[in-house]
Chain A
Amino acid sequence: MSQHDRTHHAKIATGKGDPQCFKGTTGGPPKFKVGDRVRIKDLPDIFYTRCQVYTRGAVGEVAVITHESPAPEDEAWGHVDHSEWFYIVRFKQKDLWPEYPDAFGNDSLQTEFSERWLELA
């Protein structure tokens, strides 16, 4: 029989919430700060990811440092002993979709990444 504890997440999150239950588990400060220009890496994503293909290679700006949590690419397989900082990154729509109309050049899009996906641009 499987030795996997299916109530593990419920136990650690009760009374604290998830992702709050992972606070302090990266063991260090975030690598990027609000305002940093970052490029989204195009890492291999076999099996599972929550990093959208449309953001790969795009450059944006760190808008919010949100929390610490295991990355979904690990957590999906029950690997929760290593956490990362998470960042909401803001892109100009024009930088994501070249055909986006110039008339709406101010439009933007935000989405979130764990630290492994980001590099300084």
Chain B
Amino acid sequence: MSHDHHHGHNPPAPMVDEVSDFEALEIAVRELCIEKGLFTADDHRKFTEFAEHIGPTPAARMVAKAWLDPEYRKLCLTDSLTACKAVGVDLLNPTGFGTPSDYTDVRVLEDTPTLHHVVVCTLCSCYPRPILGFQPEWYRTPNYRRRLVRWPRQVLAEFGLVLPSEVEIRVEDSNQKCRFIVMPVRPAGTEGWTEDQLTEIVTRDCLIGVALPKPGMTSNIKLPVHKAAKPAH
């Protein structure tokens, strides 16, 4: 290609990906741990695979089961460790190969028609990872953490959740060793649904408390596809 030709409007992507300071730090610490024998490279690979496949499904199923079974609902509120086992997560051994990974005092916050919970961690990004997977990016941002405690109604409105003043909004600032999930009220229009159907509408955002479950709103919802304005040839 001619060097006279200028690409001012559309510079080429860099040839080498930048590695951030934190990525370099992670690699250095990981390699030191492996050299010192704290864990093996194989342990690290297994843990990475575990961390990358966890998601909110166990917590969603917990809520769906609790909606259908009053006894299980009681168990969620009094003995969440046992309740988590019923949806396939052993909090004392979540990876299945002996790596304790998180604090284990999990609490279920039960909504009522006049009380709505929403969870934040103002100090970092505490989150019940074994049953809810990894935090969404916004949950970790200073913007969400600072503003939710002070202006919860405005922040929830930005998520599309506007609640009337009769509903008490209770922010749970998760700052110590307790980890929280929200158990929303079962929505109208789900009468006669199976546990699988109910699990589908309890999305991650419902479990954090920034959304309410609705029939038809699932995490695998089909979004409308708009035609490209300038399609590639």
Residues of A near any B CB (own CB < 8 A) = 6-7, 10, 13-20, 50-52, 54, 64, 66-67, 69, 72, 86, 88, 90, 93, 96-97, 103-104, 106-114
Nearest chain A residue, comparing its CB with the CB of B166:
A106
Nearest chain A residue, comparing its CB with the CB of B149:
A109
**What does the 1/0 interface line of B95-136 toward A look like (CB < 8 Å)?**
000101001110100000000000000110000000000000
Q: What is the minimal beta-carbon distance from B119 to any residue of chain A, in angstroms?
A: 10
A69-B177, A86-B176, A104-B169 known; A20 and B104 CB under 8 Å?
yes
B168 proximal to A (CB < 8 A): yes
Query: A19, B103: Cβ atoms under 8 Å?
Result: yes
Query: In the complex, A45→B126 CA distance in Å?
Result: 21
Query: B150, A97: Cβ atoms under 8 Å?
Result: yes
A17-B92, A104-B153 known; A111 and B175 CB under 8 Å?
yes
How many chain B residues sit at the interface, stated as a range, is 20 to 34
- Can you list 30 A-B contacts (CB < 8 A)? A6-B38, A13-B104, A14-B92, A14-B98, A15-B92, A16-B92, A17-B92, A19-B105, A50-B175, A52-B173, A66-B107, A66-B176, A66-B177, A67-B105, A72-B176, A86-B176, A93-B152, A96-B149, A96-B150, A97-B150, A106-B165, A107-B152, A107-B153, A108-B169, A109-B170, A109-B171, A110-B170, A111-B172, A112-B174, A112-B176
Query: B169, A107: Cβ atoms under 8 Å?
Result: yes
Q: Which of A15, A20, A110, A113 contacts B171 (CB 8 A)?
A: A110
Nearest chain A residue, comparing its CB with the CB of B106:
A17
A14-B98, A18-B103, A107-B169 known; A112 and B175 CB under 8 Å?
yes
